[in-house]
Amino acid sequence: MSERALQIGLAGLGTVGTGVYETLCRNRELLQARTGIPFRVKRVAVRDIHRKRDVEIDPELLTADWRDLVEDPEIDIVIELIGGTEEAHRLVEEALRAHKPVVTGNKALLAEFGGELFRLSAETKTPLYFEASCGGGIPIIQSLQSSLVCNYVRRIAGIINGTSNYILSSMERKGVSFEEALAAAQRKGYAEADPTLDVNGWDAAHKALILAMLAYGTPLSPENISVYGIERVTPTDFRFARELGYNIKLLVVIRHHGERNALELRVQPSFVSHKHMLSNVYGVFNAIAVHGDIVGETIFYGRGAGKNPTASAVIGDVMLAMRDCRHPEHHSGFHPYTKQLSLLPQEETVTPYYVRFHVADKPGVIATIAAELARYDIGISGTMSSARREDGEGEDTCDLVFMLHACPWGKLCEALRALRVHEGIGPHPAVFRIETLNEEA
């Protein structure tokens, strides 16, 4: 312990930054014992150095300019927790150019500029760590980089947005609507005032892009991927799902199609069998199922967000960075194995489906739908209907659910389009993919 202490520069003292600072102080003895490396936080960059804070911090440490970290020759490691993409992009870029390893938890930054930043990291031989960018405290990134390194990843399926999982959990358990569940989540602090990116699937999509980059080395463009949020999930669908043996989860699915040199990447609320562990992930928890060719199915579960869980991931990376720092020529880093993969067009992705039509309750409707599906060569594995109800205009209607065998999404869309012209069949059926994820002994 007589070595010079490693000096850490922390940029950002929001929720996670505060958690990181507090934990580095509180659990210092543990960390130094386990790593054998002394360290200290030398500088903390904040937007407003005069603001009153929840954490006790020596004002001398504070600076309003993150360049004070990047340009300080004594600082060995920079932690980026300022959020956003523009300023954070500059910060990470300049830190890497200054040969300071960077730890970040900024998923939006990596989803947008990951390809470029990882190239810069390789060029400058300066590692960029990002465990906290996906799955909060869940050690998914380091596991993919290290313990599971020998695996070709066949499939990743995950619940990686805590807010939407909290909302879906409330809907399932309490039978409330999306709007009610969202409002309750906001009251409890599990959803932000502007929950857009959480509920429309894009936060999960950003994380999925990071996982895909890691597993396949393929920088995918956010524009081309298929992303659906949870805004249109209804209590009716939850009731049918339960009866059919499923739960509804906002799922990220990444699947490698070796024979086509293609990657399937999509985000949507999906039906997950009650038998699969992912169906039992509730509240703000996240879980990521990784299927590797050697290891088989593994699942990582934990708190996907929040001050301390995310701080735990950041500090795990900081300690890795400290070990690497001791030997700058030693790049413990991970180079994604890259084969040129194209993105499988959404129309060609294949799953079974649940389709719920709102129909007039009269003879012939089932026959019409079944015939149209048959015309598109789509098999039906089962049907189910709700009790009839009166629609307020004197007509009896009911919900009619079709469980469909696996077929390409494009074909399903064609069939649904063709059904629109038929009288008595509501034009906007609820469609959910049924994910087949099971591997069990």
Q: What are phi and psi of 247, to 5 degrees?
A: -120, 165
Are the C-beta atoms of residues 238 and 274 closer than 8 Å to each other?
no
CA distance 209 to 180: 30
- Residue from 14, 25, 27, 40 touching a second copy (CB under 8 A): that is 27
Q: Does the protein bind a second copy through residue 187 (CB under 8 A)?
A: no
Q: Is 41 in the site for a second copy (CB under 8 A)?
A: no
The strand ranges marked E within 237-346 are 246-257, 262-273, 285-292, 296-303, 342-343
Q: Which of residues 363-422 bind a second copy (CB under 8 A)?
A: none
Contacts with 51 (C-beta within 8 Å, 6 or more apart), sequence order: none
Query: Whole-number minimum distance, CB 226 to a second copy, in Å?
Result: 28
Q: Of 28-36, 106-114, 234-242, 401-409, which part binds a second copy (CB under 8 A)?
A: 28-36
CB of 216 to a second copy, least distance (A): 11
Task: Give the chain's largest Cα–Cα span.
Answer: 85
User: Minimum distance from CB of 170 to a second copy (Å)?
Assistant: 11
Q: Is 438 in the site for a second copy (CB under 8 A)?
A: no
Please tell me whether residue 319 binds a second copy under the rule CB under 8 A.
yes
Smaller CB distance to a second copy: residue 3 or 60? 3
Pick the closest to residue 399 from 357, 354, 362 (CA basis).
357
For the CB of residue 288, give the shortest distance to a second copy in the complex, in Å. Answer: 10
Query: Please, which residue, 312 or 351, has the CB nearer to a second copy?
Result: 312
207 catalytic, yes or no? yes
Q: Among residue numbers 145 through 174, which ones bind a second copy (CB under 8 A)?
A: 145-152, 162, 166
Closer residue to a second copy, CB minimum distance, 317 or 361: 317
Contact string 268-297 vs a second copy (x = CB under 8 A): ---------x--xxxxxx-x----xxxxxx
Cβ(25)–Cβ(40) below 8 Å? no
**CA separation, residue 177 to residues 174, 213, 270 (Å):** 9, 35, 17
Among 99, 173, 242, 330, binds a second copy (CB under 8 A): 330
CA 8, chain centre distance (Å) = 28
Give the phi and the psi of residue 394 in degrees, each rounded to 5.
85, 0
* 183 interacts with a second copy by CB under 8 A: no
Rule CB under 8 A: is residue 47 a binding residue for a second copy?
Answer: no
Of 40-48, 84-92, 133-141, 219-227: span binding a second copy (CB under 8 A): 133-141
Member of 184, 299, 360, 406 binding a second copy (CB under 8 A) = 299
Three-class secondary structure of residue 419 per DSSP:
helix
201 touching a second copy, by CB under 8 A? no
Beta-strand relationship, 226-227 and 262-273 = parallel
Site map 100..129 versus a second copy, x via CB under 8 A = ------------------------------
Smallest separation (angstroms) from a second copy to the CB of 183: 17
Dihedral of the alpha carbons of 30, 35, 40, 42, in degrees to the nearest 10: -140
Both tokens assigned to 85: 């993409």
To the nearest whole angstrom, how small is the minimum distance from the Cβ of residue 34 to a second copy? 5
Choose, by CB under 8 A, the member of 302, 356, 434, 437 that binds a second copy. Answer: 302
Looking at beta carbons only, is 31 or 96 nearer to a second copy? Answer: 31
Closest CA to 152 of 19, 23, 294, 279: 294
Phi, psi of 183 (to 5 degrees): -60, -40
Of the residues 42, 100, 107, 207, which is catalytic? Answer: 207
Using the minimum distance from each CB to a second copy, give the nearer residue, 201 or 316.
Answer: 316
**DSSP symbols for 335-394:** -------EEPPGGG-EEEEEEEEEEE-STTHHHHHHHHHHHTT--EEEEEEPPPEE-SSS
Pick the binder of a second copy from 3, 4, 33, 194 (CB under 8 A). 33
Binding segment for a second copy (CB under 8 A), chosen from 17-25, 78-86, 221-229, 374-382, is 17-25
Helix, strand or coil for residue 432?
Answer: strand
Q: State how far Cα 348 lies from the chain centre.
A: 23
3-state secondary structure of 188: coil
Total residues at interface with a second copy (CB under 8 A): 72
Residue-wise DSSP of 66-80: THHHHT-TT--EEEE
Candidates 67-75, 136-144, 408-416, 420-428; binding stretch for a second copy (CB under 8 A): 136-144
* Segment contacting a second copy by CB under 8 A, of 249-257, 264-272, 312-320, 387-395: 312-320
Question: Is residue 427 part of the contact set for a second copy (CB under 8 A)?
Answer: no
Instruction: Catalogue the active-site residues.
Output: 207
